[in-house]
């Protein structure tokens, strides 16, 4: 999220409420302005041109870009779609093919640091979160709140 424009999206009322809560916490605690919108709004923006700045070749990698002639590169937009485990496959199918769009739920982060395998820093397979959708959303809310804390700590 650091150094990017961030959009949090929800695909239903509960996940949109979570996205709005997380956006408020990220602004208040992490000093990171974040937009919170419905997934339909993200899809409309992606289809109408936002995808040109968020997918495909990275303009920062162009050997022909000169900041003195071309000006600074636009900030890239990163979209996170929050969802529950039951809805993840459908949401992932809706956003497939678009760059810089990630579907996240409570299963994405292991429960403890013991899941680190210790060799190359990669995460071992996490056990799926078992619980009702509201439990999964609560866990995701806490993780997004901790993200705000980490952003604040990184910035000093």
Find the mean pLDDT for residues 128-156.
89
Note whether residue 107 is domain-resident.
yes
Instruction: Give the start-end residues of each E strand in the chain.
Output: 5-10, 34-38, 77-82, 101-104
Q: Which two tokens stand for residue 37?
A: 């919108």
Its domain, for residue 129, covers 5-54+75-155
Q: How confident is the model at residue 49 (pLDDT cuts 50, 70, 90)?
A: confident
pTM for the structure as a whole: 0.76
Note whether residue 64 is domain-resident.
no
135 has a pLDDT exceeding 60: yes
Note whether residue 61 is domain-resident.
no
Note whether residue 70 is domain-resident.
no
Which residues have C-beta within 8 Å of that of residue 148, sequence separation ≥ 6? 22, 25, 26, 28, 29, 30, 32
The CA-CA-CA angle for residues 33, 135, 121, to 5°, reads 65
Number of domains in the chain: 1
CATH of the domain at 122: 3.40.50.10490
Of 70, 79, 86, nearest to 45 by C-alpha is 79
Note whether residue 59 is domain-resident.
no
Alpha-carbon distance 147 to 136, whole Å?
17
Note whether residue 65 is domain-resident.
no
Note whether residue 16 is domain-resident.
yes
């Amino acid at each position: 999220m650091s150094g990017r424009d961030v959009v949090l999206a929800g695909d239903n009322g509960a996940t949109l409420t979570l996205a709005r809560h997380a956006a408020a916490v990220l602004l208040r605690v992490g000093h990171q302005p974040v937009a919170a919108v419905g997934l339909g709004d993200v899809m409309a923006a992606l289809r109408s041109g936002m995808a040109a700045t968020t997918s495909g070749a990275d303009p920062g990698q162009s050997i022909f870009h000169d900041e003195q002639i071309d000006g600074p590169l636009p900030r890239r937009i990163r979209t996170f779609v929050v969802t529950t485990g039951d809805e993840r496959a459908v949401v992932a199918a809706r956003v497939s093919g678009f760059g810089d769009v990630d579907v996240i739920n409570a299963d994405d982060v292991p429960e403890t640091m013991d899941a680190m395998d210790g060799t190359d820093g990669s995460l071992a397979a996490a056990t799926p979160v078992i619980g009702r959708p509201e439990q999964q959303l609560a866990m995701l809310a806490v993780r997004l709140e901790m993200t705000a804390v980490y952003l604040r700590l990184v910035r000093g």
